[in-house]
Chains A and B, each alone.
Chain A
Amino acid sequence: MMNDVLLEIKNLRTYFKLHEGILKAIDGVSLAIGRNRVLGIVGESGCGKSVTARSILKLVPAPGKIEGEIWFHGGEKPVNLAALPPTGNAIRDIRGREIAMIFQEPMAAFSPVHTIGDQISEAIQTHQSLPKPEARGRTIEMLKQVGIPIPERRVDNYPHQMSGGMLQRAMIAMALSLRPKLLIADEPTTALDVTIQAQILRLMKRLQAELGMSIIFITHDLGVIANMADDVAVMYLGRVVEYGTVRQIFENPQHPYTQALMQSIPKLGSKGRGRLASIEGTVPVPLDPPRRCGFADRCVHFIPGRCDADVPPLIDTEAGHQVRCILYE
Chain B
Amino acid sequence: MQNGSKALIEVRGLKKYFPIQEGLLRRVVGHVRAVDDVSFDIPAGKTLGLVGESGCGKTTLGRCIVRAMEPTAGEVILRVNDQEFDLTKLSAKELRAVRPHIQMVFQDPYLSLSPRKTVLNIVGEPLYINKVAEGRALEQRVRDLMDLVGLDVKYLNRYPHAFSGGQRQRIGIARAISLNPELIICDEPVSALDVSVQAQILNLLQDLQREFNLTYLFIAHDLSVVEHISDRVAVMYVGKLIEIGDTEELFQKPRHPYTEALLSAIPRPDLSRPMKEVTLEGEVPSPANPPSGCYFHPRCPYAKDICKHEAPPLVDMGNNHFSACHFAKELDLQGVGE
| Residues of A that sit less than 8 Å from B by CB | 44-45, 163, 165-166, 193-199, 201-202, 220-228, 246-247, 250-251, 260-262, 264-271, 273, 275-280, 282-283
The interface bits of chain B over 182-211 (1 if a CB of A lies within 8 angstroms of the residue's CB, else 0) are 000000000000111111101100100000
Chain A residue nearest to B164 in the complex (CB): A282
The residue from B166, B195, B200, B283 contacting A196, defined by CB atoms under 8 A apart: B283
The residue from A228, A266, A280 contacting B227, defined by CB atoms under 8 A apart: A266
- What are the residues of chain B within 8 A of A266 when measuring CB–CB? 199, 202, 224-225, 227-228
CB distance from B209 to the nearest CB of A (A): 11
- List CB contacts (< 8 Å) of B209-260 with chain A: 221, 223-225, 227-229, 248, 251-252
Given contacts A194-B53, A264-B199, A268-B223, contact A44 B269 (CB under 8 A): no
Complex-state Cα separation, A166 to B224, whole angstroms: 26
- What are the residues of chain B within 8 A of A246 when measuring CB–CB? 271
A276 & B338 in contact (Cβ 8 Å cutoff): no
* A to B contact number (C-beta, < 8 Å): 136
Chain A residue nearest to B270 in the complex (CB): A226
Chain A residue nearest to B207 in the complex (CB): A275
The interface size of chain B toward A, counting residues with CB under 8 Å, comes to 47
Is residue B262 contacting chain A, with contact meaning CB distance below 8 A? yes
Is residue B265 contacting chain A, with contact meaning CB distance below 8 A? yes
Some 27 contacts from A to B, beta carbons below 8 A apart, are A44-B194, A193-B221, A194-B223, A195-B280, A196-B283, A197-B267, A198-B265, A198-B280, A199-B279, A199-B281, A201-B275, A221-B267, A224-B267, A246-B271, A247-B271, A250-B270, A265-B195, A265-B199, A265-B224, A265-B269, A268-B223, A268-B224, A269-B336, A271-B248, A275-B206, A278-B197, A279-B200
- What are the residues of chain B within 8 A of A226 when measuring CB–CB? 267-271
A282 & B199 in contact (Cβ 8 Å cutoff): no
- What are the residues of chain A within 8 A of B167 when measuring CB–CB? 282
- What are the residues of chain A within 8 A of B274 when measuring CB–CB? 227
Chain B residue nearest to A270 in the complex (CB): B338
- What are the residues of chain A within 8 A of B283 when measuring CB–CB? 163, 165-166, 196
A195 & B53 in contact (Cβ 8 Å cutoff): yes
CB distance from B246 to the nearest CB of A (A): 11
Complex-state Cα separation, A220 to B336, whole angstroms: 22
CB distance from A263 to the nearest CB of B (A): 8
The residue from B251, B267, B280 contacting A227, defined by CB atoms under 8 A apart: B267
